[in-house]
């Protein structure tokens, strides 16, 4: 496999001889909704901290890939602010972690209604090649809107299992960078972690893949400095999933 840099290969080969399943993050990996999330977070926090704008670095460091409420706690802590947790019954006007979470989700859903759901063709093509080669596939997302996004994009048929923010909450699973949601997806697919590949665009996500001792972790660099996902725990980093090759064959 030819590479331009030792730690950041231009292409990756996934083989059925070594792997049985592929676990994909959703936002920023399969669907172009990460930017919609980022804009919703900026809308939320710029109104809350008008003199300290929310930046792309803030998004990647504190909220990207994390469950919504964890992201709020993480970012507020970075600004030295603590809010009461509040309750799930509170509305978006509440000045609590729960209230801010609902406010952010409202901004996201409104943008989704206006913009629709776009997909990354390279990711969809990779999913189709993996399934044709006999890989089992799952989507693992912190989003509680995962099912709605999949349905809107017409992608439900590409996944054998879904572990999202709703399922994580129901099961009491900690979010990324903890590996629990990925481990639950592997369990549902009936595969061992060392026989599964994790595909992620967030630092928290690749950290989860590494902590779960998965067989291979691919970082998808949609933004941020080159090599950051490798430093966070990915085995390789690619700019486009169309470069990932799939080999058939008996495991």
Whole-structure pTM value: 0.78
Residues 151-162: tens digit of each pLDDT: 889 999 999 999
Per-residue model confidence (pLDDT) at position 116: 80
Orientation angle between helical segments 97-115 and 34-48, nearest 10 degrees: 130
Whole-number pLDDT of residue 4: 37
CA distances from 198 to 85, 93, 215, 228 (A): 32, 37, 8, 16
pLDDT value for 250 = 67
Residues of the chain below pLDDT 70: 1-11, 249-251
60-101 tens-digit pLDDT: 889 987 888 999 999 999 999 999 999 989 999 999 999 999
Domains of the chain: 12-33+119-247 (3.40.50.1000), 34-115 (1.10.150)
Active site residues: 25, 27
Q: d(Cα 225, Cα 19) in Å, to the nearest integer?
A: 29
């Amino acid at each position: 496999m030819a590479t331009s840099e030792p730690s950041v290969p231009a292409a990756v080969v996934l083989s059925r001889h070594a792997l049985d399943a592929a676990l994909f993050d959703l936002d920023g990996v399969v669907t172009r909704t990460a930017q919609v999330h980022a804009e919703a977070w900026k809308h939320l926090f710029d109104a809350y901290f008008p003199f300290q704008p929310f930046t792309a670095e803030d998004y990647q460091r504190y909220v990207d890939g994390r469950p919504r409420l964890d992201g709020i706690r993480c970012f507020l802590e970075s600004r030295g602010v603590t809010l009461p947790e509040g309750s799930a019954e509170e509305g978006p006007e509440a000045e609590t972690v729960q209230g801010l979470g609902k406010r952010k989700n409202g901004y996201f859903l409104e943008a989704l209604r206006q913009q629709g759901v776009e997909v990354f063709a390279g990711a969809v093509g990779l999913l189709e090649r993996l399934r044709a080669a006999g890989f089992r596939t799952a989507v693992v997302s912190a989003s509680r809107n995962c099912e709605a996004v999949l349905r809107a994009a017409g992608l439900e048929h590409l996944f054998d299992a879904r572990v999202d923010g709703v399922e994580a909450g129901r099961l009491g699973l900690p979010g990324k960078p903890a590996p629990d949601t990925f481990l639950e997806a592997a369990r549902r697919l009936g595969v061992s972690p060392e026989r599964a590949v994790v595909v992620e665009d967030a630092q928290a996500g690749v950290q989860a893949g590494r902590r779960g001792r998965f067989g291979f972790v691919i970082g998808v660099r949609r933004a941020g400095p080159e090599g950051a996902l490798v430093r966070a725990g990915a085995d390789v980093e690619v700019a486009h999933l169309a470069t990932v090759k799939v080999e058939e064959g008996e495991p």
